[in-house]
């Protein structure tokens, strides 16, 4: 790391190696059978052909009508997810830098960027170093491909202005800093658990956070410094370890960042830049010990994707590793993203003072953790129970 103070709580046990975005399940599910990309990928990974075709078949049912999902339900998914592609164009996430450069004290500039991000809607924002190991090695999911599976379903061609990397191109992001931002999801909607309403909320926060990331990146480029936004339709970096390095929280057993106030119920975006900024330290909230004792997400995961056992070493880091294939196949079965792990986590609670007090005890009084885990089961139940859909969705006629 770039600083001598506190260190992140993940454990580096070997040389870090960069992740190839082509290996993500979200890239693999877009591989059209017979396309040059699919043939290139599966000639290197013949063992994945069958499972990738299953993923592709299943995941494309998410947000689509059928099996109890009506066209009205599917429209909720499309309403929030589809427009995000417009924020993913290469000259929206990145772009022209102003010819004159504003010079400012890094501490002052950091305070200004944070205040702006909060004003625009971020629930938390911190600044860390950009570890080059967290930059994807190769492009796997650009928002548009000529003659290739685009972001379904409304964008079916290549915009004239498209200049982004193609599948398989190396990714280089030389920036020194990363501004990591967390956005809370509405817990009541997420607790509906794998329904069009949890999808609606997930898409709303993805879209809103993507907009704020592009706004912050545009602001910095207008100050004369390079900056690139990273959001769900155009990532160049792994946002979870970037956010951990910036001190937004810790990596939990469920694979999400656990934030001290928002728990796992959040979405992350970041902006990488060379604008000189003051770094925030990573944090130790006691999450590693808490997750060791808790396992609530693993016991409630319907697909068995969350490990109940020990951490494993992945590309040089010892951590809990979820099985993304199991998770995605379950989403396809539901036709919705599940998010049970995000809502069931004891850290995902409304921002009331009693919950904040309990979180403080969990962070600072390690012997209390087992009791708090037990108390969470007693008060909220050990098993996931879906919340009802929102009242507005139950109106059976539109009143003017
Ligand atoms: S989203 Fe659902 S299926 Fe996927 S890891 Fe979380 S609980 Fe398991
Ligand atoms: S549910 Fe428990 S084990 Fe899972 S991420 Fe949250 S605290 Fe960790």
- On the CB side of 257, CA atoms within 13 Å amount to 30
Q: Where are the alpha helices (DSSP H) in 251-346?
A: 287-294, 296-300, 324-334, 340-344
Tokens of 288: 């590693």
Tell me which residue has its CA closest to atom 3 in ligand 1.
327
Listed residue (193, 183, 177, 154) closest to 2, CA to CA = 177
Which pLDDT score, from 0 to 100, does residue 6 have? Answer: 85
Any idea of the CA torsion for 73, 77, 79, 83, to the nearest 10 degrees? -160
Tell me which residue has its CA closest to atom 7 in ligand 2.
291
173-196 residue pLDDT tens: 999 999 999 999 999 999 998 889
Q: Which ligand is nearest to the CA of 306?
A: 1
pTM: 0.93
Is residue 178 a part of any domain in this protein?
yes
**Domain count along the chain:** 1
- On the CB side of 137, CA atoms within 13 Å amount to 10
Is residue 395 a part of any domain in this protein?
no
Specify burial of residue 113 (Cβ count, 10 A radius: 0-12, 13-18, 19+): buried
Q: How far is the CA of 67 from the centre of ligand 1 (A)?
A: 20
| 42-63 average pLDDT score | 87
Tokens of 186: 């509405």
63-90 residue pLDDT tens: 777 877 888 888 888 888 888 888 888 8
Is residue 3 a part of any domain in this protein?
no
Phi-psi domain of 147 (left: phi exceeds 0; alpha: psi -120 through 50; beta: other) = left
Is residue 136 a part of any domain in this protein?
yes
- CA 130 and chain centroid, separation: 17
Ligand 1 site-directed mutation target among 320, 324, 330, 335, most atoms within 8 Å of CB? 330
Which pLDDT score, from 0 to 100, does residue 398 have? Answer: 55
- Residue 348 belongs to domain spanning: 11-382
Which pLDDT score, from 0 to 100, does residue 130 have? Answer: 98
Is residue 167 a part of any domain in this protein?
yes
The b/e string for 59-71 (b: 16+ C-beta within 10 A; e otherwise) is bbbbbbeeeebee
Q: How far is the CA of 334 from the centre of ligand 1 (A)?
A: 11
């Amino acid at each position: 790391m770039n600083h001598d103070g506190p260190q992140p709580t993940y454990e580096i046990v070997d040389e870090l190696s960069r992740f190839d975005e082509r290996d993500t399940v979200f890239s693999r599910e877009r591989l059209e059978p017979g396309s040059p990309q699919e043939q290139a990928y599966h000639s290197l990974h013949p063992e994945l052909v069958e499972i990738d075709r299953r993923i592709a078949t299943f995941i494309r049912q998410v947000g689509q009508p059928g099996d109890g999902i009506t066209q009205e339900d599917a429209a909720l998914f499309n309403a929030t997810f589809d427009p995000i592609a417009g924020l993913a164009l290469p000259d929206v996430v990145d772009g022209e830098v102003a010819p004159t450069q504003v010079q400012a004290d890094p501490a002052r500039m950091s305070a200004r960027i944070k205040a702006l991000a909060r004003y625009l809607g971020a629930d938390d924002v911190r600044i860390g170093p950009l570890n080059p190991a967290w930059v994807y090695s190769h492009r796997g999911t650009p928002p548009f491909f000529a003659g290739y599976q685009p972001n379904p379903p409304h964008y079916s061609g290549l915009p004239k202005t498209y200049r982004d990397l193609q599948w398989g191109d190396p990714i280089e992001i030389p920036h020194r800093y990363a501004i990591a931002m967390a956005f809370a999801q509405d817990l009541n909607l997420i607790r509906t658990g794998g329904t069009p309403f949890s999808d609606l909320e997930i898409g709303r926060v993805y879209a809103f956070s993507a907009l704020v990331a592009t706004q912050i990146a545009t602001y910095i480029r207008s100050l004369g410094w390079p900056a690139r936004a990273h959001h769900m339709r155009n990532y160049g970096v792994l946002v979870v370890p970037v956010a951990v390095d910036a001190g937004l929280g810790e990596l939990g057993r469920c694979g999400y960042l656990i934030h001290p106030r928002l728990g796992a119920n959040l979405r992350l975006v970041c902006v990488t830049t060379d604008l000189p900024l003051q770094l925030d330290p990573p944090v130790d909230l006691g999450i590693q010990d808490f997750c060791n004792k808790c396992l609530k997400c693993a016991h409630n995961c319907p697909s068995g994707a969350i490990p109940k056992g020990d951490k494993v070493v992945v590309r040089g880091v010892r951590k809990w590793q979820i099985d993304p294939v199991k998770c995605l196949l379950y989403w396809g079965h539901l036709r919705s993203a599940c998010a049970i792990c995000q809502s069931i986590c004891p850290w995902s609670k409304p921002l009331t003072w009693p919950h904040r007090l309990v979180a403080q005890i969990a962070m600072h009084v390690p012997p209390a953790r087992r009791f708090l885990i037990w108390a969470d089961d007693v008060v909220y139940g050990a098993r996931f129970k879906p919340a009802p859909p929102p009242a507005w969705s139950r109106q059976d006629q539109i009143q003017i």
